Chains A and B, each alone.
Chain A
Amino acid sequence: DGGITQSPKYLFRKEGQNVTLSCEQNLNHDAMYWYRQDPGQGLRLIYYSQIVNDFQKGDIAEGYSVSREKKESFPLTVTSAQKNPTAFYLCASSMAPLFSGNTIYFGEGSWLTVV
């Protein structure tokens, strides 16, 4: 079945460590996105990529990094510079940039806790 796979589902990180969240899609989508969700807040955009080897910062990119070396993969690294990384992270994709009228598909999310 086509879809978006995020891993791991749950991750614990010690302060000062970098961690990488995986996002893989087999929908042949060009655009991929990373969102962060905190209690009582709407999803906020961290980074997005409209095409392979290209990505742009979203609204809260500080302390995060991404790569898009393959069309199907868009990993997110939460670096030690991110001051408050404990959150729920969602990866998403769409056929083309959203202004083209395409719907968006989400993964199941990853819970990151800093201990």
Chain B
Amino acid sequence: KNEVEQSPQNLTAQEGEFITINCSYSVGISALHWLQQHPGGGIVSLFMLSSGKKKHGRLIATINIQEKHSSLHITASHPRDSAVYICAVRETSGSRLTFGEGTQLTVNP
């Protein structure tokens, strides 16, 4: 079993829909990252959070430390949001990141 599990693996939405991507983890963590991987392969850091909720534009990330679960929400989705979204956790015990397998999001016009 992976230490970081994402769901769904693939998600197709229509433009304007509200999107949720989930991340569950099984280890103690000090922080969780949400990353966006573009079709060309480059990765951009969207959020780093250790508690509560963060918002940036149409993106919202939440984390529940007790339940070991985080969600990434996209409001009013747009075709340019199409990408792979990756959850990564930094374990309490170390300095490395452990990555989920990613969620492929496709937003159709």
Contact = CB atoms under 8 A, between A and B. Distances in A.
Interface string A58-95: 10000000000000000000000000000010101000
B42 A98 contact: no
Interface in B70-97: 86, 88, 90, 94-97
Interface in B36-51: 40-45, 48, 50
B55 to A, nearest CB: 17
Nearest to B38: A108
A108 B31 CA distance: 24
Nearest to B98: A42
Contact of B4 (A42, A44, A107): A42
B42 A42 contact: no
A108 B42 contact: yes
Contacts of B45: 103-106
B30 interface: yes
Q: How many A residues touch the partner, as a band? A: 20 to 34
Interface stretch (B13-21, B59-67, B99-107): B99-107
A111 B41 CA distance: 9
A92 B96 CA distance: 12
Contacts of B99: 42-44
Interface string A1-33: 000000000000000000000000000000000
B42 A104 contact: no
Contact of A40 (B42, B86, B101): B101
Contacts of B26: none
Nearest to B97: A98
Given A99-B90, A106-B42, A108-B41, A58 B96 contact: yes
Given A108-B41, A109-B42, 16 more contacts: A40-B101, A42-B2, A42-B86, A42-B98, A43-B86, A43-B99, A92-B43, A98-B90, A98-B95, A98-B96, A99-B90, A101-B30, A103-B33, A104-B33, A106-B35, A106-B42
